[in-house]
Amino acid sequence: MAKPKVQYQCDECGATLPKWAGQCNECHAWNTLIEVVVEAKSNVKSFRNRDHIAVPAEVSFLDTVDAEQSSRLATGMAELDRAVGGGLATGSVTLIGGDPGIGKSTLLIQMLSDLGEKGVKTLYVSGEESAQQISLRGRRLDLALDKIRLLTETNLERILSIANSEHPEVMVIDSIQTVYTEMLQSAPGSVAQVRESAAQLVRYAKQTNTTVLLAGHVTKDGALAGPRILEHMVDTVLYFEGDSGSRYRVIRSVKNRYGAVNEIGVFAMTDKGLKEVSNPSAIFLSRHEEPVSGSVVMVTKEGTRPLLVEVQALVDTSHLGNPRRVSVGLEQNRLSMLLAVLHRHAGINTSDQDVFINVVGGIRITETAADLAILLAAISSLKNSPMPQDLIVFGEVGLAGEIRPVQNGLERLNEAVKHGFKKAIIPKANQPKQKIEGMEVIAVSRLSDAISQLQ
């Protein structure tokens, strides 16, 4: 194969340069030039040569498109199927991101074992662990080892040529950061390598209708390591969430071309690998024996399923000129905004206080329905006065101090009743038309109304 030509492209403005430089000529941004392949024609051709993919492009009506091509493949793990929107779509590329040690490899190999038992032809490509390590783990997890085909390889060209001869229906690459292509000189794991390798794998998946799953590392601040563009290239992006201390692991879809986003699947990490938790609604509560201050239970709706989650706050006198606002599992900026609303519309000042907010169990809450719970938890901690243990709270707080409705209010209330909660502070617009048996609903339209309920 002739050596492909490489250029350097600016990540900011797209300008191309023949040589690497510290600064882009065009937009003068620093450290933005990355290596790109100019021509990868020979490689593309090798796929096209295969008969069944040589389809000439033509214009067609959508109703005549054969939808069969993107059928679903149930993985045998209902929680994973749920997260991806009802099974893996064939020919799709899924990226699974998460902290080291959270369970990506465990999940993927368990999935391959289940698929293998159903007669699906699979291939597990590992660049991180040796065959012995993987086999040892498989034995410990009682997996169908005779159904898992393993390839320990990091060279993309070799991976693709083996895949081309083996024709797996499902291929796992663990991880995308270890794979490198010969076309580039950059080190494996660099932005250029990750981008180019992923692009070729996506092309392979689409042209051969192979379902590909890529495991990906995440950086300290929680983003996938490597170019942002990786998330654009793939069809589905799943994130593994969870505390290293907690045994629960949540898989959340943050992008899905084949289903809804924010759908979650819940697993527990046990000594026999990941086990599905099919009814997770109450696992994120810490269940204190005595009422404690700074703890509020909210009902969040992640995807199609309501979950009871405990929000904890600690508000304490700050000795810093710039008091700390720390939130774990929630967006930081939103916390600052909520504290400003609390000051302006309820007269409660926290400018001399450090405020820490935590969501129990390591789950992330992405919806604004948590606003009211966060503020009530902060007030409870500030005043050191516990909330009733049978109280649940949800509602969005607006900048004008109003409490805005959230979606699926009734469903959230019903879930709370199921778990024995008897009192709810919710937005006025979410007030149910009929009385809910066993639940006292306090509907509020202003933040000050909600706070006055606490006295």
Interface segment toward Mg ion; rule CB under 5 A; list 28-36, 103-111, 112-120, 331-339 = 103-111
In the list ligand TYD, Mg ion, none, the entry touching 269 (Cβ below 5 to 8 angstroms by class) is: ligand TYD
Least distance in Å: CB of 173 to Mg ion?
11
Least distance in Å: CB of 335 to ligand TYD?
29
Least distance in Å: CB of 214 to ligand TYD?
12
Q: Check whether the bond before 448 is cis (ω within 30° of 0).
A: no
Contact 394, 406 (CB under 8 A): yes
Contact 210, 171 (CB under 8 A): yes
Least distance in Å: CB of 101 to Mg ion?
8
Closest CB to Mg ion among 104 and 364? Answer: 104
Beta bridge partners of 426: 443
C-alpha–C-alpha distance, residues 344 and 201, integer Å: 53
Least distance in Å: CB of 380 to ligand TYD?
35
For residue 256, state whether it binds Mg ion (rule: CB under 5 A): no
Interface segment toward Mg ion; rule CB under 5 A; list 1-9, 102-110, 250-258, 278-286 = 102-110
For residue 181, state whether it binds ligand TYD (rule: CB under 6 A): no
C-alpha–C-alpha distance, residues 106 and 377, integer Å: 36
Q: H or E segment at 393? A: strand 391-393
Contacts of 56 (CB under 8 A, 6+ apart): none
Task: Tell me phi and psi for residue 53, to 5 degrees.
Answer: -105, -5
Judged by phi (left if over 0) then psi (alpha if -120 to 50, else beta), residue 108 lies in alpha
Pairing of strands 170-174, 88-89: unpaired
Q: Binding mask 109-148 vs ligand TYD (x if CB under 6 A, - otherwise)?
A: ----------------------------x---x-------
Closest CB to Mg ion among 247 and 446? Answer: 247
Interface segment toward Mg ion; rule CB under 5 A; list 100-108, 250-258, 313-321, 435-443 = 100-108
Q: Binding mask 23-42 vs ligand TYD (x if CB under 6 A, - otherwise)?
A: --------------------
Q: Is the dihedral of CA 270, 267, 106, 138 positive or negative?
A: positive
Structure token pair of residue 295: 């703890």
Least distance in Å: CB of 100 to Mg ion?
7
Which residues inside 231-290 make contact with ligand TYD, applying CB under 6 A? 269, 271-273
Closest CB to Mg ion among 105 and 327? Answer: 105
Least distance in Å: CB of 105 to Mg ion?
3
Q: How many residues does the chain have?
A: 455
For residue 173, state whether it binds ligand TYD (rule: CB under 6 A): no
C-alpha–C-alpha distance, residues 416 and 422, integer Å: 8
For residue 105, state whether it binds Mg ion (rule: CB under 5 A): yes
Q: Binding mask 75-104 vs ligand TYD (x if CB under 6 A, - otherwise)?
A: -----------------------x-xxxxx
Contact 32, 12 (CB under 8 A): yes
Question: Which of 55, 53, 92 lies closest to 70 in space, CA to CA?
Answer: 92
Q: Is the dihedral of CA 218, 176, 211, 45 positive or negative?
A: positive
C-alpha–C-alpha distance, residues 280 and 415, integer Å: 12
Closest CB to ligand TYD among 32 and 122? Answer: 122
Q: Which residues bind Mg ion (CB under 5 A)?
A: 105
Contact residues for ligand TYD, defined by CB under 6 A: 98, 100-106, 137, 141, 269, 271-273
